[in-house]
Amino acid sequence: MDNGLLVVISGPSGAGKGTLCKRLKSEMKDLKVSVSATTRKPREGEVEGESYFFINEDEFIKKINNDEFLEYACVYGNYYGTPKKEVFKQLEDGNDIILEIDIQGALQVKKNYPIGVFIFILPPSLNELQNRIEGRGTDTKEVILKRMQCAYDELDYAFEYDYVVLNDQVETAVQKIQCIINAEKNRAIRKKAIINKIREV
């Protein structure tokens, strides 16, 4: 059986990664979601092993030192990371996994698992990106300005990815990503097994 695909959905804050991933998960029922580990305390309703693996800081740092993460980051004093073990087990079982992640995280994943499928989500324009970030109403003017500068710089990283998908219309972007996932299943690098099988028959 073919290994599953690790599909990394990434891009600047405000590009619409979250919405796209939600839609993809509901349309592609077989797509598994990777569960992150974190040192943050569980919030109400969060379930161990579903929302996150909740572990303490000592454990987390031990795992970092043992190279057990595909990627990790420290955000506002809490660690978050994607455990290799869980992800690799799913891939070996032939399941496709989707991972929604920021650019720094995606570049770490690429280093650890270069045969993943790396998709950069583009906002339709920087103006639109600003509207979206402002629309959330969660950030101060200074933070928004900083985010915009950051987004401008981050566009350079698009060329480190395999694909760039413009998210001007959610429907179209979801279709494009579905198409990319299906196309990637036919990549020559993933087809050794079938060619050997044809030779046998």
Q: Which is nearer to a copy of itself, 53 or 157 (CB)?
A: 157
Taking each helix axis as running N to C, give the angle between helix 17-27 and helix 170-184, from 0 to 180 degrees, rounded to the nearest 10.
Answer: 60
Residue 114: both structure tokens together: 């270069």
* Residue 169 found at the interface with a copy of itself (CB under 8 A): no
For 87-103, give one letter per residue: b (16+ CB within 10 A) or e.
Answer: bbebbeeebbbbbbbbb
* Residue 184 found at the interface with a copy of itself (CB under 8 A): yes
* Residue 183 found at the interface with a copy of itself (CB under 8 A): yes
| Amino acid letter, residue 165 | V
Q: Select from 1-9, 51-59, 102-110, 163-171 the region that touches a copy of itself (CB under 8 A).
A: 163-171
Cα distance between residue 148 and residue 12, in whole Å: 9
Q: Which is nearer to a copy of itself, 1 or 189 (CB)?
A: 189
* Residue 107 found at the interface with a copy of itself (CB under 8 A): no
Contact 32, 92 (CB under 8 A): no
* Residue 150 found at the interface with a copy of itself (CB under 8 A): no
Residues that bind a copy of itself (CB under 8 A): 120, 122-127, 152, 155, 158-166, 176, 179-180, 182-184, 186-189, 191-192, 194-195, 198-199, 201
